[in-house]
Amino acid sequence: MQIAMAIECLHHVIAKYKEKEPNVRLASVMCGDLNSRPDSHLCRLLTTGSLPADCPDWHSKESEAFEGMPLQHDLRLKSAYTDLPYTNYTTEFKGCLDYIFYSCDDLQLIQTVPIPAESELQAQVALPSLAFPSDHLALVADLGWRRDADASGPSRLQAKLGDLQVAPGRRRARKPRGRSRGGRGTVAGNT
């Protein structure tokens, strides 16, 4: 139910932006620790867009069971990572619980950062460790606009990034000329 509410919220945000700026190109990215394995009904709902009314999850807790609730969405989400053996690695549990889902109609996966080898994680027993400060591994994906998708207008991000220039070997970029709100007009981080 929580992921169904998150999807509904995402639909609401998309509709709001479309109403304000109908020509702006939008794409969805949903990521986080979903506490569900890749073969779960939650991941099935995200990737297939539907969950049947007779889903076994509706009866997983007797005191909260209910009947006849099919779920559907039209976001067409795809996972940036496939077949990850783990994103959570503790002494009690090893498995994939973290995800980056993106709208595959609008975005394409360029690359993902590989997760550490199990031998690296076992070197200090499990997570968290001195090398990895969380019990979850960071997932990182570079996504780009699909060239074959409807390009009726630039996204707000594309418009802002269009004039940025990145110097070779540096991670800072100059902001387009003009007034900026506070700061010195530099943008740091990955784009």
- In this prediction the pTM is 0.75
Residue 42 near residue 48 (C-beta atoms within 8 A): no
Domains annotated on the chain, with CATH:
2-153 (3.60.10.10), 154-191 (no CATH)
Helix (H) or strand (E) holding 13: helix 2-20
Compute the residue count for the chain.
191
61 phi/psi in degrees, rounded to 5: -130, 115
Task: Extract the runs of DSSP E, i.e. beta strands, from the chain.
Answer: 29-33, 50-51, 71-72, 77-79, 88-89, 94-95, 98-103, 107-112, 141-145, 165-166, 172-174, 186-188
Along the chain (191 residues), what's the average pLDDT of each consecutive run of 10 residues? 92 94 92 96 95 87 83 95 96 96 96 96 93 94 85 47 42 42 36 33
Catalytic residues: 33
